[in-house]
A and B are shown apart, each in its own frame.
Chain A
Amino acid sequence: MTFATKRLQKELQKIHGNLPPGISLVSAEGFDEWLLDLKVLDANPIYLNQTYRLKFKFSPSYPIEPPEVTFHKTADRPIPMHPHIYSNGIICLDLLGQQGWSPVQNVESICMSLQSMLTGNTKNERPEGDEHFVANNRRRPKDIDFYYHDNTV
């Protein structure tokens, strides 16, 4: 049993116990990929009455390495509008990159960070060059070298 599995077991136990409001577990079949639903709780008009689906992909070296976290689009789960979220669901957040990641982070804390990232947002727009990026990107999200320039959101 790998390090990651053990740690994820513990996290899952805790998640089954209780999760912060607005975050709910959809599925955790095994320890490779989990799906969670995210809601923005305050009355932010951009995200009002919407539920977004997050997809977590764990590598065997989690939590030393960050998980791959993206928004997952389904019929009733859109990709939220945010200047750091591409329309294919890839999220530009330093927390999820090699630099910003820390092994003490966990699924719950990532969800909460994303929740607050959405809550604090006022711009109903996609990142610059979204179309170009979505059309051309073939790399995995963690391999993309984001330039974290905007610390306002």
Chain B
Amino acid sequence: MPPPNTPRRSSSVDSAAQSHLDYLDLDLGEAVPNIPTSAYSLSPSAPRQQHLHLGVDRQPGGSLNRLPEPNLPHTVDFRGLNYADTVDENLLCPICRVPMVEPVDTACDHTFCKDCITEAFKYSNLCPIDRFSLTNTDLHKAHKIVTNQLDALLVLCPCCTSPVPRAMILNHLERYCKDALVRCPGQACRDTVKRKLYGRGCLHYDVSCPDCNMIMQQLEMADHRERDCQERLKDCSHCGDVILRCKEDGHLEKCQYVPASCEWAEYGCDYESRRKDLAEHADVCAFKFVGPMATILKKEINNLRSEVRTLTEKDHIKERRIKFLEGGFGGQRDTDRPLDYADLPSQSLSNLADSSHADPLDSGHEYLLSLVEAQETKVDRLSAGMTELEAKQTMMLFNETIQIKNELAEMRSSQQVLSMHVRWLLNFRRQENQRRFGAGPSSGGGTDGGGSSHDMPFPRRLSDTMNRDLVTKL
């Protein structure tokens, strides 16, 4: 057997790194006559297909750099894809009759595949539908809503036949499809394998079929043994049925004619017969009562064992918690601090199992949280008291200021009255003085008469002003 990773077919593919996988059309159902179907083909110089509507620049070289190993760039013929559902007539290109690829609008408001209409222009520059005269410049990318609808159509993946939105098909093939080809994981191997086989290493080495001795690659062996091998069938030596050689082991496990031992062999029954006869033996087997009981007991014991295990684990956790709490309280007494993780016994921390790891932390957190809560309630109480006090203060202030204001008004009025009196007295005094000194030679009764005439209005006017003042004050 040749060593693995022998690149047997490397000459046929110059460079797998440069190759594109071309998915050509698959069959379209039974109604269609013989169509040359080829799902994949390796074509190093595969023409670049429609990618523009996907909005991704997919230069062959660029996409190669972009894709992580071992993915290969794929090309998909969008016109050859099969769609999961029937597609709305309006989304079909009138020329190629498949859902439009890279749709363009004409000046006369018709929509075609870009390739179709360009192809049609080679023969005639008339719109295929209404014969409107057009040029290449009259073509515009179709409205986003059309491309979105087209991109959302579910197509069947040419490899794994699972439905994928059309816009995602390349991404699906290049990265996810289990049946799409990827680079062979073998170091020296330049072949390709299906993605689902990638994990099994390079399968491109020759082996001979154990049934027919034909030499082929390990990659093809499973298929060969199941479908193509001339010697794949054999008669079962026990039951005589025709079986696949590669499935013989599976068959022997079920074959009714294979000798088998009694169901309760492990408890001591040494009866052996063909599998189909075991049922008869089961009725008479000496272990037919003990056997089921033993199984039940075994089960029960296993249950109990697992229960005990969980209980011990729980116990351990509790012990650790108690230790931690004790350590925590000691720390509080000593340092007047509620918690100090440094005080924890280092043993308990290092021995913590995954499940109980969070426990000491949890109780610490809980304690801190309770402290915080207590503080919060205190703060709440304090703030409530504060607001109460504030209200009281304002009321008191208000009451007192009102009294003061009233007193102030009273005092102001009495002061007015007083000043009135003083003015009257001053006037009175001035008149007295005039009378006393005014009886001189220069001014006789003339001034007297004038004086008396001046006298009268003064007190009246004064009383007037006083009244007015009182009115305004009150």
Contacts and interface: CB of A to CB of B under 8 A. Distances in A.
Interface of A: 1, 3, 5-7, 9-13, 16, 28-30, 63-65, 98, 102-104, 106
Contacts of B32: 9, 12-13
B35 interface: yes
Contacts, number: 62
B31 interface: yes
Given A28-B33, A98-B123, A103 B97 contact: no
B31 A16 contact: yes
Given A9-B28, A103-B116, A30 B33 contact: yes
B134 to A, nearest CB: 12
A1 B25 contact: yes
B34 A30 contact: yes
Contact of A3 (B31, B96, B123, B124): B96
Interface of B: 24-25, 28-29, 31-36, 77, 79-80, 94-98, 116, 119-120, 122-124, 126, 128-129, 131
A64 B31 CA distance: 25
13 contacts: A1-B24, A1-B35, A1-B36, A3-B96, A7-B96, A9-B25, A12-B32, A12-B33, A16-B31, A64-B123, A102-B126, A103-B94, A103-B116
B104 to A, nearest CB: 14
A13 B94 CA distance: 16
Contacts of A65: 123
Contacts of B128: 102-104
Nearest to A17: B31
Nearest to B92: A10
B28 A103 contact: no
Contacts of B129: 102, 104
Contacts of A98: 123-124
A104 B98 contact: no
A35 to B, nearest CB: 13
Contacts of B97: 7, 10-11, 106
Given A6-B25, A6-B79, A64-B120, A102 B96 contact: no
Contacts of B77: 1
A98 to B, nearest CB: 7
A12 B32 CA distance: 7
Contacts of B131: 102
A146 B8 CA distance: 61
Most buried by A among B29, B35, B80: B35
Contacts of A5: 35
Contacts of B123: 64-65, 98
Given A13-B29, A13-B31, A64-B95, 16 more contacts: A1-B25, A3-B79, A5-B35, A7-B95, A12-B33, A28-B33, A29-B33, A30-B33, A64-B120, A64-B122, A102-B126, A103-B94, A103-B116, A103-B128, A104-B95, A106-B97
Contacts of A102: 126, 128-129, 131
A142 to B, nearest CB: 12
Contacts of A10: 96-98
Nearest to A12: B32
B380 to A, nearest CB: 77
Nearest to A11: B97
B356 to A, nearest CB: 67
A10 B32 CA distance: 9
A6 B33 contact: no
B122 A104 contact: no
A104 B94 contact: yes
Nearest to B94: A104
A90 B75 CA distance: 43
A63 B117 CA distance: 11
A12 B129 CA distance: 21
Contacts of A11: 97
Contacts of B24: 1
A83 B28 CA distance: 41
Contacts of A3: 79, 96, 119
Contact of B35 (A9, A16, A63, A106): A9
A1 B126 CA distance: 27
A121 B331 CA distance: 114
A7 B97 CA distance: 6
Contacts of B120: 64, 103
A95 to B, nearest CB: 12
